[in-house]
Amino acid sequence: MAKTIITVATTGAWPAKKDNPSIPLTPQEIADDVYACYQAGAAIAHLHMRDDAGMGTMNTEKFEETVKLIKEKCDIILNLTTSGDLNATDETRQAHLKSIRPDMASYDCGSMNWMHKSLFINSPQFLEELGATMQKSNVKPEIEIFDAGMVYNSLHYKKKGVLQGPLHYQFVLGAAGGSTATVENLVYLKGLIPEDSTWSALGIGKDHMKIMYTAIAMGGHIRVGLEDNLFYGKGDLATNVRLVERAADAIRTYGNEVATVAEAREILGLK
């Protein structure tokens, strides 16, 4: 039976307790939530950090503390953000990778208008530096794709050797400023990537179920979590565990099996 990987994105950089009281913010809260999601079927945890005021931060010590707490509980694959604070410097965005050397980290393959409010800058210089840092630290890039141009950027960097195949993509659909969360967009984007690639998808907001089911049917993997969706259904606030449980049920209903951590490592080629 086919194996489908569940990634849980527990926190993000912006949702607050006032938006959903279940958002984990402290290292201990994040670690406890990640462990509960691991028990529910998540094989990968995509991690953002928050400062003491609850704002997104790239503080290395926060990452180190949280990773230590998680590793004391389970062997879930750790995928650390490199974009948890739009005001962080290029160096700050990479410092935790050199210190922690996680299994994976996000590689946002281009710049964009962010939420119609600000700029999400990933300059060519930064992307080349980040690719070199990941190779040196043995971190597998999760190439986050918000629109088609980012796929073409990834192919450019693969040709240059900045990225090494086989590549792993995360299609992020529904972010204001990027591609909307439609089946047609997912099919189109998936068709652009190299045949030996692995990929996962998520839909932000009300269309997340559509993207989740389509990704499973197309042979991809899925990401769920409060970073992307605060609600389980209309008027029903979600928890990360409930979102993972529903994803696991969807995978089994389709006829696939939920990938274990060991199986996810094999699928992704992680050492």
Tens of pLDDT, residue by residue, the chain (271 residues) = 899 999 999 999 999 999 999 999 999 999 999 999 999 999 999 999 999 999 999 999 999 999 999 999 999 999 999 999 999 999 999 999 999 999 999 999 999 999 999 999 999 999 999 999 999 999 999 999 999 999 999 999 999 999 999 999 999 999 999 999 999 999 999 999 999 999 999 999 999 999 999 999 999 999 999 999 999 999 999 999 999 999 999 999 999 999 999 999 999 999 8
Q: Which two tokens stand for residue 29?
A: 């809260």
Q: For tokens 């194996």, name the residue.
A: 3
What total number of domains does the chain contain? Answer: 1
At residue 171, φ and ψ (nearest 5 deg) are -85, 120
**Alpha carbon distance 69, 82 (integer Å):** 20
Q: Contact, 150 vs 114, CB < 8 A?
A: no
Q: Using only C-alpha atoms, what is the Rg of the chain?
A: 17
pLDDT at 2: 97
**Alpha carbon distance 44, 247 (integer Å):** 13
**Alpha carbon distance 24, 66 (integer Å):** 11
DSSP string, 84-102: S-TT--TTHHHHHHHHH--
Full domain range(s) for residue 155: 3-268
Query: Whole-prediction pTM value?
Result: 0.98
Q: Contact, 214 vs 201, CB < 8 A?
A: yes
pLDDT at 1: 83
Partners of residue 58 on adjacent β-strands: none
CATH number for the domain harbouring residue 97: 3.20.20.70
